[in-house]
Amino acid sequence: MEWLIWLGAAVSALGLGGLFWSIAKVWRARRAGLSDEALREVVRKAVPLNMGALMLSVLGLMMVIIGIFLG
């Protein structure tokens, strides 16, 4: 089950990349000096990306754990 461990690590890394992208997106919007309403809109659009990336990361870590248990 070594392949499941490596696949899970790749999925988890993809989710981690999505989390960093979401953080960078909101950080750039804060540094741009947007109005309060515009900043809220950017954050509102970033929340689904953040939650999806977090879910992907968790699924990848679960795949790693299952691969370790089955291996």
Total count of residues recorded for the chain? 71
Give the pLDDT confidence score for residue 71 in this predicted structure: 85
Closest CA to 44 of 58, 25, 57, 17: 25
20-69 confidence digits (pLDDT tens): 999 999 999 999 989 999 999 999 999 999 999 999 999 999 999 999 99
Domain that holds residue 23: 2-70
pLDDT for res 70: 95
- Domains identified in the chain, total number: 1
Q: What is the pTM of this model?
A: 0.85
Contact 28, 45 (CB under 8 A): no
Measure the CA–CA gap between 48 and 13, rounded to whole angstroms.
18
Report the first-to-last Cα separation within the chain, whole angstroms.
5
